[in-house]
Amino acid sequence: MDKRFTIGRTGIEVSRIGLGAGVVGNTMMYPKVTEDMGRELVQAAIEEGIDFIDTAFLYGFGRSEELIGEAIRNSGRRDKVKLSTKAAANFKLTDQGAMQVDNSPSALRESVEHSLTRLQTDYIDVFFVHYPYSDTPLEEAAGALADLKQEGKIKSIGASNLSYEQLQQFNMDGYMDVFQTEYSLLARQAETDLIPYCLEHQISVIPTFPLASGLLAGQYKKEDTFTDLSRMNNPMFQGEDYITNLERVERMKDYAAKKDMTLPQMALAWLLNRPGVDLIIPGATRPDQLRTNMRTTEVVLTDADMEHLDILSSTSNPGSE
């Protein structure tokens, strides 16, 4: 498997394994990950040769960007590391619990300027609209990012968490370069229309939750309970769906063992073999997990492996192995 790849039509060449830095500086959602642990993680990623780091304003309301900017400045390797971040200006929850953000051109411009300051850089390689829940039409938001791209403040344009209709709207004028959407062996809904659209329009796909919020790490048990927001509100961890997913994971784990690989490596390698996926950004909390993730590029999955994983991932009762 090629270890380096160009992200779609962006011209940005990176290693195929990046770092999703959702835990860095995000103590509200990940209280067990201290800021010192976050600093150590980013420093280790740079030292290990990971050259794509993905973050967002909402990860600690800017604190993740600050810690990453500090680590990259100290490393002196800004020219070696590609940065992506996401805007969610004026984030709030309504009385009904619905999310609202501000994707107006002025708010996006301000978001970019603030991210540049926190990241201690004068350009951002990929800048995303994080959520679509704004009064601003999505094509107008994309146009605002196109202006910032023309000015050199951002190098490429992305969006995440869009439905198929919203994806079409955002890309109405053909500005989108990169799309982030949930995609893993346990969540393949994007294959229905989102990924085919991206393939047709030369938009690179970066999967979010590539290990299904940890399910594909293969460590959870039926009796486990979850208190973190990321899993408490995730249907994959609720009731019968959770039990079914654990059963699927056990079958995948057995198959990975037969192939002399770990389940996470197999799950990540599967993604790297899917059409439209140029790189993946698995998260980590410790440097040793980074190194394990990076070894994914050494994993070889045959056509027969991919077909068998299709069976294991698409049904709760695949029959005898």
- Catalytic residue IDs: 59
Closest alpha carbon to 50 in 99, 116, 118, 3: 3
Q: Are 51 and 14 in contact (CB under 8 A)?
A: yes
Dist. CA 97–CA 93, nearest whole Å: 5
Contact 154, 148 (CB under 8 A): yes
Is there a contact between 50 and 18 (Cβ–Cβ < 8 Å)?
Answer: yes
Q: Which of 151, 150, 154 is nearest to 129 (CA)?
A: 154
**Dihedral over Cα of 220, 226, 228, 234: its sign:** positive
Rounded to 5 degrees, φ, ψ at 139 are: -70, -30
Cβ-based neighbours of 53, under 8 Å, separated by 6 or more:
18, 19, 21, 42, 45, 68, 72, 81, 82, 83, 84
Segment 237-242 long-range contacts (CB within 8 Å, at least 24 positions apart): 237/213
Contact call for residues 10 and 83 (beta carbons, < 8 A): no
Local structure of 50: helix, strand or coil: coil
- The answer to whether 87 and 130 are in contact (CB under 8 A) is yes
In 3D space, the residue among 203, 217, 209, 283 whose CA is nearest the CA of residue 250 turns out to be: 217
Give bridge partners of residue 211 from the DSSP assignment.
none
